[in-house]
Amino acid sequence: MTNWVELVVFLVLFLVVTVLGFLAARWQRGGHMEHLDEWGLGGRKFGSWVTWFLVGGDLYTAYTFVAVPALLFSSGALGFYALPYTVVLYPLVFLPVLRLWSVSRVHGYVTPADFVRGRYGSSLLALIVAITGIVATMPYIALQLVGLEAVLRTMGINASGILGHLPLLIAFVILAVYTYQSGLRAPALIAFVKDILIYAVILVAVLYLPAKLGGWASIFDSAQAKLSQPSATSGGKPQGSILLTGSNQLQYITLALGSALALFLYPHSVTGVLASRGRAVLKRNMVALPAYSLLLGLLALLGYVAIAAGVKPVTNNATGRPDANTIIPALFDSQFGSLFAGIAFAAIGIGALVPAAIMSIAAANLWTRNVYKEYLHRSATPRQEARQAKLASLVVKFGAVAFILFIDPQFSIDLQLIGGVIILQTLPAVAIALYTRWLHRWALLAGWVVGMTYGMYLLSIIPNPATGRRHFGGSALTLDKLTILGWHPFAGSTVQIYVGFVALVVNLVVAVVVTWLLRAAGVFNGPDQTAPADYHADEGSPRLKPVADAVAGAPGAKVVASE
């Protein structure tokens, strides 16, 4: 059953965004579009407002908007971790992000792996960081499709088989073409539309729906009543609770903290940061970005509103299972008029395009700078780099579409879970290296290998009774199962903890111990390209490398792309 009003509103807004995406190439065009600084970082000159919309659109994705309320809907208070996560985030990253911006601006770094290479003189360590970033980002892009698809299926475009994925494919082809042409300017411009729509929708939803459904008190009461009933798969235990329980408090804390530490290690976050004009722009944004956190918290509560409204998830005709991610679209569909529901769906749908574009650009930058230029074509000119990145962005996006088309979407969700765990393993090499080179480069590598292996092992032993899976069933590890080479330090405990956090601690311990050994043995720690003052350079400083300048030291340095 297709709702035509919703569909028309959705299509009109989608069309507006598409036009914007193509026009973006002309928007404040700087020097040479055939350069990564221009295509991949929008000319490195975004001011406070543009950065706020861009980074906001980048971090708070369609999937977040769909999945966080779905988590509250199905398991209660644990899903609210998204709020503390985004509150502790900005104070934590405030200082390191400024250092990263300055050092990158002085040396012309485009990716976090570029920084690692400059800091440690190790292209191997940079390659590891780059590959970790690409692998963690890919399923994230696929998940944006899951968010978009949830909206499309709720609107009635819910065919089975490959045909059911066709609208998704069309949307992504359009996205791929204008990102190819306009680079980072496209999502920056579209983010304005997306965020204004999202703010309007959420504010209306959180004011109107509780009033309609008898106020917050009765919403929370009916949520508690439903969550306290045992479900078919929980073995007689309640499905969840509107408060944290003894066993999931530690999971709540470590998941919030681990996610906050991980977010600015993701390449797409770094892309948003490096595209800004100066340190003051970033500082203002660290103060202003929590406005989105407020929004996310309110949105999360809509999961309970959906319980109170008696919303049932839409069955995905491609997989034959009810899709919990359709809870929020289904809530809008049942409670709002068609016109407003159409706007809400467009907000979520466009919300999928902005981060998908930025993520594919970030992954393309990593590929180009740290694999292509480093290993395949060392003498690549800036123009060749830009061309390579544009092509890579297409490959990345169609890879994500293939993920959704040919593999169960559930697989992307699992991979995204793993993504958080693996990106955290680059924290010592990227974030700690911003402050000190005390950790030895080989120790960082050893820590990465051990942390990654251990994290994967722990994820592999987590079952999920709700879906009947025995491995990779979630990121909440029961401490009882925690083993260190066969030793169970917390045997019998039912307390749960976030795997990423455990793996990071192990990574750090290994890195410190190996550093001690290597320093005692006097092993060379690589050359450092950066100077201490680089980490404080601000706009206007003579230290800064000119934007879209040919990369110094490279054989192709004298070749400047012409207009």
Query: Closest distance between another protein and the C-beta of residue 504, in Å?
Result: 16
Please choose, out of 107-115, 240-248, 356-364, 513-521, the segment that lies near another protein by the rule CB under 8 A: 240-248
Q: How far apart are CA 233 and CA 464, in angstroms?
A: 10
Please choose, out of 264-272, 276-284, 347-355, 395-403, the segment that lies near another protein by the rule CB under 8 A: 276-284
**For another protein, how many residues bind (rule: CB under 8 A)?**
58
Q: Which residues in 159-175 are b (16+ Cβ under 10 Å) and which e? A: eeeeebbebbeebbebb
Q: How far apart are CA 341 and CA 329, in angstroms?
A: 8
Query: Which residue of 7, 23, 87, 559 would you call a contact of another protein, by CB under 8 A?
Result: 87
Q: How far apart are CA 338 and CA 334, in angstroms?
A: 9
Query: Closest distance between another protein and the C-beta of residue 542, in Å?
Result: 8
Query: Closest distance between another protein and the C-beta of residue 327, in Å?
Result: 18
If one asks whether residue 277 binds another protein (CB under 8 A), the answer comes out as yes
User: Are the C-beta atoms of residues 254 and 504 closer than 8 Å to each other?
Assistant: no
Q: How far apart are CA 115 and CA 524, in angstroms?
A: 19
Please choose, out of 262-270, 339-347, 517-525, 535-543, the segment that lies near another protein by the rule CB under 8 A: 535-543
User: Are the C-beta atoms of residues 322 and 312 closer than 8 Å to each other?
Assistant: yes
Query: Which residue of 16, 177, 280, 560 would you call a contact of another protein, by CB under 8 A?
Result: 280
Q: How far apart are CA 250 and CA 103, in angstroms?
A: 36
Query: Closest distance between another protein and the C-beta of residue 495, in Å?
Result: 13
Q: E strands within 429-541? A: 476-478, 496-498
User: Are the C-beta atoms of residues 127 and 374 closer than 8 Å to each other?
Assistant: yes
Helix (H, G, I), strand (E, B) or coil at 284: helix
Q: Which of residues 403-462 bind another protein (CB under 8 A)?
A: 435
Query: Closest distance between another protein and the C-beta of residue 392, in Å?
Result: 26
Query: Closest distance between another protein and the C-beta of residue 390, in Å?
Result: 22
If one asks whether residue 19 binds another protein (CB under 8 A), the answer comes out as no
Q: How far apart are CA 284 and CA 293, in angstroms?
A: 16
User: Are the C-beta atoms of residues 208 and 341 closer than 8 Å to each other?
Assistant: no
Please choose, out of 148-156, 159-167, 213-221, 420-428, the segment that lies near another protein by the rule CB under 8 A: 213-221
Query: Residue with structure tokens 């393993």?
Result: 425
Query: Which residue of 13, 36, 66, 77 would you call a contact of another protein, by CB under 8 A?
Result: 77
Residue 533's CB is within 10 A of a number of other CB atoms, namely 12
Query: Closest distance between another protein and the C-beta of residue 532, in Å?
Result: 4
If one asks whether residue 545 binds another protein (CB under 8 A), the answer comes out as no
Residue 460's CB is within 10 A of a number of other CB atoms, namely 11
If one asks whether residue 35 binds another protein (CB under 8 A), the answer comes out as no
Query: Closest distance between another protein and the C-beta of residue 187, in Å?
Result: 15
If one asks whether residue 546 binds another protein (CB under 8 A), the answer comes out as no
For 367, what's the count of Cα atoms within 13 Å in the CB-facing half-sphere? 23
Strand partners, 76: 241
If one asks whether residue 12 binds another protein (CB under 8 A), the answer comes out as no
If one asks whether residue 215 binds another protein (CB under 8 A), the answer comes out as yes
User: Taking every pair of C-alpha atoms in the chain, what is the biggest distance, in angstroms?
Assistant: 72
Among residues 46 and 60, whose Cβ is nearest to another protein? 46
**Contacting positions for another protein (CB under 8 A):** 28, 30, 43, 45-50, 77, 80, 83-84, 87-88, 90-92, 94-95, 215-220, 242-244, 249, 252-253, 256-257, 277-280, 283-284, 286-287, 290, 293-294, 297, 301, 435, 531-533, 536-541, 543
